[in-house]
Chain A
Amino acid sequence: MRKIIFLILFICFVNAYEYNKLLLRTQSSLYPKLILMDQNLPSHLSDKIIDFYILVTAIDRLYAIYIKKQLDRLYAKGLGGYGFHSKIVNFSTFLADKESNVDAVYVLKAKEELLKKVAKKIEGKNIYSFTYEKEDLIWGFLFNASIEKKVVIYINKSVLMHHDFEFLPQLYQMSRFIEP
């Protein structure tokens, strides 16, 4: 009986993602600065404000709020002469919105199909894209910061090549490239 109950509980209670809070903080601090390393940034912005979307599934909303608090604490007053506006957006809302004026997206964990759709939607639009998970770069996102022995920045080379980004050489020196 105990085994049956345990099995039922086992099957029922498997449904969560526990984010690493230090990694979230690290990424929140680094990602906006990576945008500033692009020498073509002015030509990619429609105004003087960087619109930064945190793309999230509904269940992870508290983590998205945590990220937004970090971003707002660091960059609410702007960065590098640009205004900075962060916003929490559901994947489904983002994908349905045809008018969005987004400059950068930071994708949290989501199903593969959703991530592929987001990558498809931003493809070729010179939108800076960042992931929580390094493995998600393969779907067509540009940047990831991971904690290994030290903090490492990864750049998706194929995404870089297919967009009009011109990052400073210093960024390349401190980054690693991956070619999915």
Chain B
Amino acid sequence: MVKRIAVVASISITLFANSWSESLKKDLRTFSYIADISKENEFFQPHIVSVYKGYELEKLGIQTLQEALWLVPGVDIYSNNLGAIYPVFRGSNPMAFGQTKLFIDGVLVNNLFGDHYTQYMQMPIELIKRIEVVRGPGSKSEGVNAYAGSIYVTTYAENFGEFECNKLFVKRGSELYRGGGFYTNHHFGKLRVYTEFYYQQDDKSVYSGPDMLYTGYLGEVNKHLAKSGTAPLWLKNYSLAMTLSLDGFKLQARDNQYKHGMGFGVSYLLPPKKDYYLMPNRYLEASYQKDLAKEWHLDLRSGIRHDSLTMDTHYAPAGLVMPNPFDPSQIVVYRYGMYGFFQAKQRAIYAKAYLSYKGWQNHKVVFGTRQSKEKTYNVVTITTDKSGKSGELVDYSNSFPFLNPNAKRTISIFFLSDTFDYSQNLSFYYGINIEKNSQSDYIVNPKFSMVYRLDTNNIIKASYAKSHRNPSWQELFTINNITKVGNPDLRPERVHTLETCFIHRFSADDYVQVSLFFLRNKNLIDNINLQHKYLNHKDQRLYGFELELSKMLDIYTKLYANYSFVDGRNGCGTPLANVAKHMAKGYLLRQLTPNLSASILARYVGDKHRFDFDTRKPLKRYTVCDFGLSYIFASGMNLRFSAKNIFDTTVKYPAPPYTYINDYPAFKGRTYTFTLAWGL
């Protein structure tokens, strides 16, 4: 009897323990999956990647995506003549847009006109759960040819059962900054609904000049019209996004309305304060994921993206003397100046389908295709009479448009990749993207990378990748403009990259990472020539390294810092222009009490040398320091204060030669922001 009871008890305990064993295994699988998706295992990924978490960035007083990107090793921030901000990775062609891609919750949001994403650079950090920055042409997103780098922003639409489901925030700051927004996650049975909204506006401006007329580029006769003054950089921006998820089906939509002062002028001439450009970006993407069998996984997605550029501006002062655009032998005096209303609307429709297979030993094979059709569907060009006979407005939309109204392109990409775990310590990734688009021949982009784990704390990565960047609409199709001359014969920019990286982990959160890179860029596009025509006119070699350190110096002392160095030569042997060879960034955070933390953040950007034909002195190096305070109340409410540029440093973005000789000022002195946020 006792034996029987013992046997039964033993069997019960074993069965019971087995069920917990299964539960444990399931947890290990689930959290490994989440770690993979959220890049917590970044050191084992086949890319050189930096991951920044929103809640940490908030503590540092970082306000926007732009400020967060400024922390990334090897990344510098630039502005164009409209005051449109964009990041430049490792000094790759800083006078051109489109070098990098931005994905928001997996959706590519670069606009067609400039192939950039300025309208998202001011996205509030409160809405960002995580930012992953892949330097180099990483091919994490098969079917997209990233070039100098790619940025993956994940919002709180991603929720793996975290507590932080809803948030509301309001902000107030200098330069009349006002902003606010929220996100919510709701469940209705199996249906999950994520909603996000933000609104922000400010009255930012900077003192700049003299403008391009001073250089004499538009003739000595116009030089006296050159102006210095206030460049309007004000902002009005709102965005509404929604994600619906039901089983494997997902629908994502976003409408981002972005209105901005004309900055330094569409034609590099200082505009009046009220002049603006509108750059809305909206998309709708439907996707469906399903495990077809144990080893097969299907992913289908299709979407449509609208973006446009509208400019409402006085783009030349009264009294300007120019050749008549219809008869260049005649000279016209524009007594009333030139006013213009320009609008170009674009649409991209795309579909992507891929299958992944995990049934062959330790391989994960992915293959599929991405198809897209891009076109301009409306161009409006209304300006003051270009013949100079009157000050009347004339509709030149058909006769003299600023952009080719028939601009269009189709792109087909086929991709195949394999992730192969040769052993517990050695993994390989290799793949190929084959692209055919309506403006170029087949382009083949292979990638190979290896991750080798020397032991649990030391990892080596190496990769080779080839990629390209298709010219943007602005570069291809701008017409009837003397400061930007499009060129439909442009070839894609090409890049070959060799990278290697060593990571040493001191502990779960502490590491040092050293990356070496060599890039060979071909067919680089810019319009820095006397005709201002976009040309594939140079090749470039870039090399350098990045050092990133996150270390608890003792149990309470944390240090995060990075340093990057880049150098290289252009194909004709001239040195790199408009690139800071040395950059260093870092932050320090002190938890004064469990609820109160203070932070200091610093960025150093080195001198930027000019083109060899540009006689200006190098753009001076700068160090900017920010300060932040954060207090979390017992109710969960969070009050934050951040002061930017506490030492009142002058920061300028480089302006192209023959435009603004004193470059583009980035901001005006010290600024501050108060934020009140409720996590619900």
With both beta carbons as reference points, the residue of chain B lying nearest to A178 in the complex is identified as B456
Docked-complex contact A174 and B508, CB < 8 angstroms: no
Docked-complex contact B20 and A33, CB < 8 angstroms: yes
Contact among A13, A25, A170 for B590, CB-based, below 8 A: A13
Determine whether B612 belongs to the interface, using a CB cutoff of 8 Å to chain A.
Answer: no
**Provided the pairs A36-B17, A147-B41, A151-B31 are in contact, do residues A15 and B590 lie with their beta carbons within 8 angstroms?**
yes
What's the least CB distance linking B620 to chain A, in Å? 15
With both beta carbons as reference points, the residue of chain B lying nearest to A111 in the complex is identified as B555
Contact among A5, A109, A147, A171 for B40, CB-based, below 8 A: A147
Interfacial residues of chain A within 113-129, with CB under 8 A of chain B in the complex? none
Docked-complex contact A30 and B558, CB < 8 angstroms: no
B163 contact set on A, CB distance < 8 A: 66, 69
**Provided the pairs A148-B44, A174-B28 are in contact, do residues A22 and B38 lie with their beta carbons within 8 angstroms?**
yes
Complex Cα distance, B600 from A10, in Å, reads 8
What's the least CB distance linking B649 to chain A, in Å? 8
Docked-complex contact B508 and A134, CB < 8 angstroms: yes
With both beta carbons as reference points, the residue of chain A lying nearest to B23 in the complex is identified as A33
Contact with B along A1-25 (1 / 0, CB 8 A): 0100110011011111111111101
B14 contact set on A, CB distance < 8 A: 168
A132 contact set on B, CB distance < 8 A: 508
Determine whether B330 belongs to the interface, using a CB cutoff of 8 Å to chain A.
Answer: no
Complex Cα distance, B24 from A151, in Å, reads 11
What's the least CB distance linking B512 to chain A, in Å? 15
With both beta carbons as reference points, the residue of chain A lying nearest to B17 in the complex is identified as A168
Contact among A15, A34, A146 for B508, CB-based, below 8 A: A146
Docked-complex contact B41 and A20, CB < 8 angstroms: no
Docked-complex contact A10 and B588, CB < 8 angstroms: yes
Contact with B along A39-59 (1 / 0, CB 8 A): 100000000000000000111
Determine whether B602 belongs to the interface, using a CB cutoff of 8 Å to chain A.
Answer: yes
Determine whether B589 belongs to the interface, using a CB cutoff of 8 Å to chain A.
Answer: yes
Q: Please choose the segment from B203-211, B288-296, B350-358, B591-599 that sits at the chain A interface, where 4 or more of its residues have CB less than 8 A away.
A: B591-599
With both beta carbons as reference points, the residue of chain A lying nearest to B588 in the complex is identified as A13
Docked-complex contact B556 and A17, CB < 8 angstroms: yes
Complex Cα distance, B591 from A110, in Å, reads 14
Docked-complex contact A133 and B507, CB < 8 angstroms: yes
Contact among A13, A81, A148 for B598, CB-based, below 8 A: A13
What's the least CB distance linking B593 to chain A, in Å? 7
Complex Cα distance, B316 from A23, in Å, reads 58
A33 contact set on B, CB distance < 8 A: 20, 23-24, 27
Determine whether B647 belongs to the interface, using a CB cutoff of 8 Å to chain A.
Answer: yes
**Provided the pairs A23-B508, A62-B595, A150-B32 are in contact, do residues A30 and B27 lie with their beta carbons within 8 angstroms?**
yes
Docked-complex contact B509 and A19, CB < 8 angstroms: yes
A111 contact set on B, CB distance < 8 A: 554-555
B190 contact set on A, CB distance < 8 A: none
| Residue count of chain A within 8 Å CB distance of chain B | 55
Complex Cα distance, B34 from A150, in Å, reads 10
Contact among B40, B44, B588, B623 for A23, CB-based, below 8 A: B40
Determine whether A60 belongs to the interface, using a CB cutoff of 8 Å to chain B.
Answer: yes
B162 contact set on A, CB distance < 8 A: 21, 25
Complex Cα distance, B509 from A18, in Å, reads 8
**Provided the pairs A12-B590, A23-B40, A132-B508 are in contact, do residues A62 and B632 lie with their beta carbons within 8 angstroms?**
yes
B598 contact set on A, CB distance < 8 A: 13
Complex Cα distance, B508 from A134, in Å, reads 7
Determine whether A101 belongs to the interface, using a CB cutoff of 8 Å to chain B.
Answer: no
With both beta carbons as reference points, the residue of chain A lying nearest to B597 in the complex is identified as A16
With both beta carbons as reference points, the residue of chain A lying nearest to B558 in the complex is identified as A16
Docked-complex contact A149 and B27, CB < 8 angstroms: no
With both beta carbons as reference points, the residue of chain B lying nearest to A114 in the complex is identified as B555
Determine whether A99 belongs to the interface, using a CB cutoff of 8 Å to chain B.
Answer: no
With both beta carbons as reference points, the residue of chain A lying nearest to B163 in the complex is identified as A69
With both beta carbons as reference points, the residue of chain B lying nearest to A35 in the complex is identified as B20
Determine whether B13 belongs to the interface, using a CB cutoff of 8 Å to chain A.
Answer: yes
Complex Cα distance, B623 from A5, in Å, reads 13
Residue of A12, A15, A25, A112 ringed by the most chain B CB atoms within 10 A: A15
What's the least CB distance linking A55 to chain B, in Å? 13
Residue of B32, B508, B558, B602 ringed by the most chain A CB atoms within 10 A: B508
Determine whether B35 belongs to the interface, using a CB cutoff of 8 Å to chain A.
Answer: yes
Complex Cα distance, B553 from A149, in Å, reads 25
What's the least CB distance linking B259 to chain A, in Å? 36
What's the least CB distance linking B157 to chain A, in Å? 17
Docked-complex contact A147 and B508, CB < 8 angstroms: yes
Contact among A34, A39, A147 for B35, CB-based, below 8 A: A147
Determine whether B226 belongs to the interface, using a CB cutoff of 8 Å to chain A.
Answer: no
Determine whether B318 belongs to the interface, using a CB cutoff of 8 Å to chain A.
Answer: no
Contact with A along B571-610 (1 / 0, CB 8 A): 0000000000000000011111111011110100000000
B21 contact set on A, CB distance < 8 A: 37, 168, 170-171
Between-chain CB contacts (< 8 Å), 12 pairs: A9-B627, A13-B598, A13-B599, A14-B556, A15-B557, A39-B13, A80-B16, A132-B508, A134-B456, A151-B32, A153-B28, A174-B28
Can you add 4 more A-B contacts, CB < 8 Å, to A5-B647, A9-B600, A16-B590? A16-B556, A36-B17, A133-B508, A134-B507
